[in-house]
Each structure stands twice: as C-alpha cells, then as structure tokens.
Chain A
Amino acid sequence: MHAIQQQYWAFRDYISPVLKESKFKEHGRITPEEFVAAGDFLTYKFPVWQWEKGDTSKARDYLPADKQYLVTRGVACLRRAQSLAYTDADEDAERLLSFDDSSSGLTDEWVETHAGRKGTVDSAANPGEIDDIPDLDGDHDQITTAMGNVSLTSSAGATMGETPDLDDIPDMEEEDLEAGDDEATAAPPPKAGVLSSGGVIDASQVEAAKGNLLQVRTYDVMITYDKYYQTPRIWLIGYDENRNPLTPAQIFQDVSADHALKTVTIEAFPHSTSLQAASVHPCKHASVMKKVIERMNTGVEEQLAARKKDGSSKDSNSKKKWAFGRKSSKEDSKDKNLATEEDEQPEAMRVDFYLVVFLKFIASIVPTIEVDSTTSF
C-alpha cells in the first residue's frame, strides 16, 4: 500500500507543472529559480550549506544539474526533543526577538517560543507533562495516542532486539591485533563528567551538573525543492553518539511532540535511487511561510510609514521592492548586490531570504537539531 502511495506521489510530482510565475508574496510558494537564488544566498552566507548534484538519473531538469539540493552535514543535536517537555508557564515565556538584518537594514521581530525553557531530566519519568500540552486543534486524544505510539515503538524496538547485540557475532574481537595499549593514543573520554580544561567537554561526556544525559547525535540535513507543493522540503538522516545510523523511532525522538508521526515521516529521498530519509511533510509550509513573510513585511511597511511622516523619505526608494528578478547565481554579481543593498532603504523581505526564514521555521519542528546556523544573522 505504501509503495503504491509512493508511486502515486512520484507520478503526481511528475505531472504537476513547474511553477513559472512567482507566488512568493501571495502564497508563500517559490519557483525553482527562486529556490536556486535563495539557495545561492544561503550557501554564500552560511558555507556549511552546500549544493549537491545527487544521483544523476534522478536529476530534476527544472533545476541546474549541479544545484539539485542543499545539504549540511554533521548538524549537532544535543538533547532529545521529548526531554524538552514544557508547560503552560513556558507558553508565556515566548518573546519577541529582534531580527536584525545588517545587509539591508531590515529589522523585524521574531517570536521565540520556550525562551526560558529548561530541559527536564527524562521524558519517560514525567509523561504526564506531555499530555498537558495544550492542543489548539482540539484533537487532544489523537496527540496523546501518537505520543504513546512513539514511546511504544522505541521501547519495543529495544526489547525486540532490532539491532543484534554484539554477542550474536562471536569472535569479532581481536584484541591481539595490537600489542598492549599505545601510550600516545588519547584514551576515549571518560563517561562520567569531569570537565577537561579549556571549557570544552567531549560529546560523550555526561552533563553531571543537571543530571541531564548528553547524547550527542548528529544529523545530515538536506533541503530539496518539492515541485508539487512548490516549497522547499527538509530531509534528515541521523547518527547516534556512536555514529550508527538512527532508526525511524529514534529520529522521532528529536521531533517536537506536536509534529512527530503527523508531519514527519520516512520517505524515499528524491535525489537517490534507494536512500530513505525522514522528511517534514511540506503541505503546510507555504501557508506558514506566507504568514511569516506577511508579518515581516508589515513591520517594514510600518517603518516606511513612520519614515514618511518624518518627511525624510526619498520617494524613489520608499516603494516596496520585490527582488523577484534576482536570479544571480554568480558569486561576483552577488557580491555587488550585497554591497549596493547596504545603501538602500529598508525593503520588504526578498526571496533570497526565503530559506533563511524557512530554516527558522523548521527549527521549531525539530527544536534540538541545530539546523538554524543563522542565529548570527
């Protein structure tokens, strides 16, 4: 059944037309050209992101051959999202962040949820708090069930022995390969937390002070362009602290409770012939992005209005500017663009920023995965 569904999705994706006109302002959707422009901006500003060409047999012809999708590797995830159980008090802790963009002088606010939130010791120890999440949609029971399923799957996975213990593989140890301990090899860091010098602790060390176990996972994060939904789409491949690939149940531990098993699913990665990855379903991306963009633009318009009142605005520049035509994929022209924009009046959000904003939105779905490397932005 799932296979048929995937075939259907692939077909639907195939027949849906490539978005030609810009719907960025009206619907929060972007064209492939705008995806490339936004991706170029992201890779330029934040070099941890790279363009990839993917499997050539799976290349999409509406995207440049060497710019099929974006990837960043080894994104750290220090804690499980499930351990971040939060209460009504945290809801009040939402705060407006100033979103200061130095390259265009645009300033806007951003709601940061759970600002003062502390990680709890263990979600399994206080499942009651998870049930207390206020649910605006009213389907309280559904979420509770979904959360129950998550823990069921993961605990069942552990007991059923999905990963055969090493005991099942006899004679795989060969301690005699190397004679004795080598004094010049750094010992693996101790498992209990004595902080080493320099204020840097090792990933496998225990955070003793709060009794909060640090299990540092890393994620490879990919952003593809979804032709059907006409938005970017995010994909995750995770590794545990011993660098073993994560199972789906483990990945769901890093997804916030509101989204696990609802919007995050395991699906075939479109730029590989066989790879499966966890993905955030893009059906709501456009409407969320539209709201965010509108919000940012309202802020800008208010600024402009205020400026007009002062009578100091230059008419030629006070019009809203939409940089739809900006498809500069060449680095040199980009440099020039960035330079000239410094002098311009505040303008509404450009499509270049789309992915930067998109990552901030994704960070709310996977709160403990540090996908948003753009905090200095």
Chain B
Amino acid sequence: MPVVQFAPFSSLVQPGFWHELTRLKIDVLRLSDESLTVSGSYSVGRSIRDRETGQDVALGCNLVLGAAAFEQPLQVPPMSVTMHGVFKNYNTVEEFKAADKATTFNNVANDIWQSIVESRDTSKLTQFLLLTFSDLKKYQYYYWFAFPAFVAKPAWEISTEGWRAADHELGASQLSSIFESLHAQTKPFFLVNLTGDTAEVHSIERADTYFASDAPDSTIVGFLDPSASPDNPGWPLRNLLMYLQTLYPSKTSSVRVLCWRDGELPVGGRSWKSRFGIVTGGAGQPNAKPTAVGWERHPATNKLAARMADLAPMMDPTRLVDQAV
C-alpha cells in the first residue's frame, strides 16, 4: 500500500506583515531579538476552474501571515483557522545565518510533543517557526519558515482504494451537516460521528468516548485541509495522526480520515471537494519523541534555504516616484 504523502505548508507573507514588522522593529523591538508569538491562518484548500481549459487548478497549501499577525487573538473568517508560531528577528544577517536553527526547531517540536503527551491538547498541534532578518534600508526581508511535523515509523499508508471524493463515503445530507457545523464554528481538527443520515461534529478531545464505541466505522477523524491536491492530504494531518497514535494506540491501526476542503456548499452541479481515505498505521505507541521535519524549502530551487522578500519596488520612495505617472 502506498505511503501517505502530506502536502507541506507553503508560507505566504503579505506585504502588510513586513510593514508591521518594520514599524515594530523601529518603534518597539529595536535591538531586541527575543522570540515573539505571531499568528497566521490557513483555510480550506482551494482550487479554481480554468475557464479556458475547464480543468481545476489547485492553489497552494498556504499559511498566510498578514499585518495583524502580531495581534492576539487573530480574527479569521469562517473555514479558516489560526495557527500560532514562534517568531524571531535577528539584527544582522550574520546572526541570522549563524542562528542555531536546529535547537530552535527542536524547541518548537518539543512543545508540540508535550502538548500531545501531557495536556492531550490539539490546539498546539500545528505551530510554525519563523526566523527573519530585515534589511530595513533596502526594504529586503530574509525569512525562513518551519512547520514541525513528526515522522511516523513505519510511515502511514493509504488503503488500496486511495483518497476518494468524500461523497463516495458520506451522503450529501451528512456532508451538509458537517459543513453547517464547521461554518458556524471552524475547528482545525474534529471527530465526525455518523448516525443514520446525520453527522455530528465533535472536538478531538472527546475521542475517548467515540473510539470506545461499539461501531468503530461510525467515527471519522476530520481536519480542515489546506491542501487541494487530490492525492496529498495537508500537513496538519501528520501531527494529528501522531496524536491519535500516541494516545489511542489500540484504536488507530486503521483510521478513517476526512480531509475537509469545502469552503462553501457546492453550487451548480459541482461535486464536493473534500476527500476521504482509510489510513493504516504501524506498531502502536512510540516510546520517545519521534523525529520532526518541516523546514520550508525554497520554492524556486527546492533546496533547504532561506527566502527573501524584496519590497523595494513597493516601498522605496525613489522607486515609487520612478513609476508614477
């Protein structure tokens, strides 16, 4: 059976974030390089239909940081969820390069691991790490994201049927009731309990109740999926599966997974975009903290490297004058 391959997060930083960082750096942080908490958000994976070819084009699996990232709590629209991150800005490019990235990364991974084994809390399962260096005079911002996720050994596998459209498994009325519930209160992770034609959405923390029930097939593990790729569930599922495997080792040799991707109800004969699959895992409870991966690769080179946002064309007053007519 094929190994489940998760679509990694891609960071999308709005110019507003860099403007806010510039303001903070000059007015508040100055030379401090303490870590701060920032918030980003991700929404259900989106695809749009190309009018010329009729194909659906998947848009990325984006974590978005905007101008409000330093505000707590972040306001997000329905079908989007907040993700917190550790933010560290370095004062010089040398410090940025020399930073002990492995340790910083492990600290975040440890935090996630603690939230699983100690507080049994899913709110910290997805976290990111953002390292930056801002060259304020040149309006250039160097940055590197990491999205720590635990590596399951052996890896999770998808049943031979693969990932299928969710309406193969669930009825339209069940999907609609999941939609209504998530639209009213969007959760990054949830449990779906099926009874007849209806589906109830519960928080993952109540897995005790539902995993213990007599009809294991009536319980589905769901998550808000930022990926739109048909065969790759999004990154958050990775830590969710690790959470379930660690806390409910006897119940999770096979997990029914719903990748929720419907931001709105399907209109005009379009089908549901959510995917469903049965994921099987290996041997029970890991004893120690598994290794974590998740540094973002540079999108142009696909290497593990920092990225740079060059905002000079949109921020440098002299450049703006040049193009003004």
Nearest-Cβ distance from residue B108 to partner chain A, whole angstroms: 14
- Find out whether the CB atom of A274 lies under 8 angstroms from the CB atom of B315: yes
**In the complex, which residues of chain B have a beta carbon less than 8 angstroms from the beta carbon of A376?**
267-268
Which residue on chain A has the smallest CB distance to residue B22?
A274
- Find out whether the CB atom of B230 lies under 8 angstroms from the CB atom of A200: yes
- Find out whether the CB atom of A200 lies under 8 angstroms from the CB atom of B12: no
- Knowing A76-B59, A186-B229, A243-B11, say if A370 contacts B325 (CB, 8 Å): no
- Find out whether the CB atom of A214 lies under 8 angstroms from the CB atom of B57: yes
- Find out whether the CB atom of A174 lies under 8 angstroms from the CB atom of B305: yes
**Cβ-neighbour of B293 out of A50, A166, A182, A275 (below 8 A):** A182
A-B pairs with beta carbons under 8 Å apart, 26 shown:
A118-B52, A163-B308, A164-B308, A169-B308, A184-B6, A185-B6, A187-B5, A188-B299, A195-B55, A196-B230, A197-B230, A198-B231, A199-B56, A200-B58, A202-B57, A210-B53, A242-B300, A243-B11, A243-B299, A244-B307, A244-B309, A245-B314, A272-B16, A272-B67, A273-B23, A275-B67
Verify if A309 is at the interface (C-beta below 8 Å from B).
Answer: no
- Find out whether the CB atom of A74 lies under 8 angstroms from the CB atom of B229: no
- Knowing A166-B305, A276-B315, say if A243 contacts B10 (CB, 8 Å): yes
**In the complex, which residues of chain A have a beta carbon less than 8 angstroms from the beta carbon of B52?**
79, 118-119
- Find out whether the CB atom of A249 lies under 8 angstroms from the CB atom of B323: yes
Q: Cα distance A198–B102 when bound, in Å?
A: 38
Verify if A177 is at the interface (C-beta below 8 Å from B).
Answer: yes
- Find out whether the CB atom of B324 lies under 8 angstroms from the CB atom of A266: yes
Seed contacts A195-B55, A261-B325; 18 additional CB < 8 Å A-B pairs: A47-B77, A157-B313, A162-B312, A164-B308, A174-B101, A174-B305, A177-B102, A183-B155, A185-B5, A188-B297, A196-B230, A200-B47, A202-B58, A237-B14, A243-B10, A245-B309, A265-B325, A376-B268
- Find out whether the CB atom of B151 lies under 8 angstroms from the CB atom of A182: yes
Which residue on chain A has the smallest CB distance to residue B300?
A242
Verify if B64 is at the interface (C-beta below 8 Å from A).
Answer: yes
**Cβ-neighbour of B231 out of A2, A174, A197, A248 (below 8 A):** A197
- Knowing A76-B57, A188-B297, say if A243 contacts B62 (CB, 8 Å): yes
Nearest-Cβ distance from residue A254 to partner chain B, whole angstroms: 15
Interface size, A (range) = 35 or more
Verify if A173 is at the interface (C-beta below 8 Å from B).
Answer: yes
The residue among A169, A178, A210 with the most chain B CB atoms within 10 A of its own CB is A178
CB contacts between A and B, total, < 8 Å: 188
Q: Cα distance A162–B50 when bound, in Å?
A: 32
Binary contact track A194-221/B, C-beta < 8 Å → 1, others 0 = 0111111111000101100010101010
Verify if B172 is at the interface (C-beta below 8 Å from A).
Answer: no
**In the complex, which residues of chain A have a beta carbon less than 8 angstroms from the beta carbon of B314?**
245, 247-248, 266, 276-277
Q: Cα distance A184–B62 when bound, in Å?
A: 19
**Cβ-neighbour of A370 out of B48, B60, B323 (below 8 A):** B48
List residues of chain B with CB under 8 Å of any chain A CB: 3-8, 10-16, 19, 22-23, 46-48, 50, 52-53, 55-60, 62, 64, 67, 77-78, 97, 101-102, 105, 140, 142, 151-152, 155-156, 228-232, 238, 264, 267-268, 293, 295, 297-315, 317, 320-321, 323-325
- Knowing A2-B321, A174-B101, A243-B62, say if A184 contacts B23 (CB, 8 Å): no
- Find out whether the CB atom of A272 lies under 8 angstroms from the CB atom of B301: no
Top-8 shortest CB links A-B: A198-B230, A247-B313, A242-B299, A186-B5, A186-B232, A173-B305, A2-B324, A200-B56
Which residue on chain A has the smallest CB distance to residue B321?
A2
Q: Cα distance A40–B316 when bound, in Å?
A: 36
- Find out whether the CB atom of B102 lies under 8 angstroms from the CB atom of A173: no
Verify if A136 is at the interface (C-beta below 8 Å from B).
Answer: no
- Find out whether the CB atom of A237 lies under 8 angstroms from the CB atom of B15: yes
- Find out whether the CB atom of B4 lies under 8 angstroms from the CB atom of A184: yes
Q: Cα distance A273–B307 when bound, in Å?
A: 26
Which residue on chain B has the smallest CB distance to residue A182?
B293
- Find out whether the CB atom of B62 lies under 8 angstroms from the CB atom of A248: no
The residue among A171, A201, A216, A218 with the most chain B CB atoms within 10 A of its own CB is A201
Verify if A125 is at the interface (C-beta below 8 Å from B).
Answer: no
**In the complex, which residues of chain A have a beta carbon less than 8 angstroms from the beta carbon of B155?**
183-184
- Knowing A2-B321, A74-B59, A186-B5, say if A177 contacts B295 (CB, 8 Å): yes
Q: Cα distance A277–B10 when bound, in Å?
A: 23
Nearest-Cβ distance from residue B295 to partner chain A, whole angstroms: 5
- Find out whether the CB atom of B3 lies under 8 angstroms from the CB atom of A183: yes
- Find out whether the CB atom of B302 lies under 8 angstroms from the CB atom of A188: yes
